[in-house]
Structure 1
C-alpha cells in the first residue's frame, strides 16, 4: 500500500522535472556583457568644485545652487554658504595660517568665545557650530548701531544688508566692518587670500539672519 502511494507522487513529479528540462534548457550567461572594465566609476564632486572655483571670478551669475542642495536665504543657508566659502564645509581642516575648522576660526577669536583648546575644537563639530552662532551674536551686538544705520543703503554699488555685515565681520572682525561702513567703503580690508569686506558684503547679502540675537557675552558652550 505504501509503495503504491509513493509511486502516485513520485512518478508525476519526475514527469514534471523532465518536461521542465525539455522546455527550459539551461543557458550559460556570458558575464563579459556585464563587465565594468573601461568605465569611469570613481565619481566625486571634486571636479565640479574645481570648475566652480575657477569660474567664480569670471562669471558673477554662477551660483553654488547648481551643485549643492538649495537651502534658501535662511540662517541655515547663510551659515552653510559662508562655511563653503571658508573651508568647503570641512570641519577638520586647518589652513596655512592656522585657522581652524568649518568656519576657519583663529585661536584669539575662540578665546573670546570661551574656547581654549583648539585641538578639541577642531575635532568637535557641535562646538564649531555653537562657536559660529556665538560669534555671530557677539558681532551683531557690537555692530547693532551700524546695522540700524546702514542696512538698505548702497556703498560702491553694494546694497548693505544685515547678513552681508555679519559675513564681513566673520571675515575681518567687527572693528574692520565699522571702518568700512563709516568710511563708506574707503577702508576695505582684504585677507591673505584676497577676500575683501566688500566682496563678502555682496556675496552674502539678503539672508535672513533674524535668528541671530545680539549678545555681548555670547559663548560657545557644549
Structure 2
C-alpha cells in the first residue's frame, strides 16, 4: 500500500514473461484479483462497495490506489502527494481525464476503470522489478519457483516465490522493496504493519501470466 516515492522515478523496460511457474495453482488470475480486493477492503467479493472504499490514509477503491500509483499510471498529477510532502493521500492534485476520469469521485464510481488500472499497475510493477534486477546483473527467473526463508519480525517464514506473489508484494510495498527482499532478504512492512512476505505468500501461486493482462 505504501509504495516508496522513489519508485515513481524508475524506468520501464519490456521483458518476456517468466518460464518458471508454480505447478500448483490457487486459482485463476480473476480469483487472485477478487482475493486481493477482499484483503484490501475487508469487504466480501462481489460487494460493490469495494470500489468506493477509502481507508484512514485515503487509499481508495477496490485495490486501494494511492496518489503515487495513479500519478505513475497517468490518471492524476500533483507536486505534493503522500510520500512526498504529505502525510496521507489528500487528493488535492489534478485528474488528467484519462479514460474520462476527472475527479476522485468519478474514479470511485467507475469500477471498470479501477479494474483496468490495476492491470496497468501490474504491468508496471513487473517491468520495474525486471529493470531493477537487470541493473544488478540479476534475473527474475533466478528466483521464480524457489523456496526462500525470511525473518519476519523474529519469526522464520518460508515461502515459494511466484509471479502472482511478487506482483502482490509490489502492490503492497513497491517494486524496489520486492527486489530488496529477493536480493538481500530484507523484509519491509506497510504503515499498518502488514509484511511484504505475508502478501507474497497469501497471493502466491495463482495462475497469472503477464501476457494476459
- Identify the residue that residue 101 of structure 1 maps to in structure 2: 61
Q: TM-score, normalised by structure 2?
A: 0.62
Residue segments in structure 2 that go unaligned for 5+ positions in a row: 1-25, 77-94, 96-103, 134-138, 150-157
- Do the aligned residues in 2 keep the contact of 1:78 with 1:204 (CA within 8 Å)? yes
1:120 counterpart = 2:118: no
Distance (whole Å) between structure 2 residues aligned to residue 213 and residue 138 of structure 1: 13
> RMSD of aligned C-alpha atoms?
2.0
1:152 corresponds, among 145, 153, 164, to: 145
Residue segments in structure 1 that go unaligned for 5+ positions in a row: 1-71, 216-222
Distance (whole Å) between structure 2 residues aligned to residue 123 and residue 84 of structure 1: 18
After TM superposition, the runs of 4+ consecutive aligned structure 1 residues lying more than 4 A away are: none
- Identify the residue that residue 138 of structure 1 maps to in structure 2: 124
Distance (whole Å) between structure 1 residues aligned to residue 74 and residue 199 of structure 2: 26
- Identify the residue that residue 165 of structure 2 maps to in structure 1: 164
Query: By percentage of residues, which structure has more strand?
Result: 2
Pick closer, same or farther for the CA change 1:137–1:119 going to 2, 3 Å: same
Distance (whole Å) between structure 1 residues aligned to residue 106 and residue 143 of structure 2: 38
Q: Secondary structure at the match of 2:176?
A: helix
Q: TM-score, normalised by structure 1?
A: 0.60
Query: By percentage of residues, which structure has more helix?
Result: 1
- Do the aligned residues in 2 keep the contact of 1:139 with 1:214 (CA within 8 Å)? no
- Identify the residue that residue 86 of structure 2 maps to in structure 1: none
Equivalences, count: 142
Distance (whole Å) between structure 2 residues aligned to residue 91 and residue 139 of structure 1: 22
- Do the aligned residues in 2 keep the contact of 1:140 with 1:213 (CA within 8 Å)? no
Shift of 1:214: 9.5
Shift of 1:98: 1.0
Shift of 1:196: 0.7
1:177 counterpart = 2:174: no
Q: Secondary structure at the match of 2:74?
A: coil
Larger radius of gyration: 1
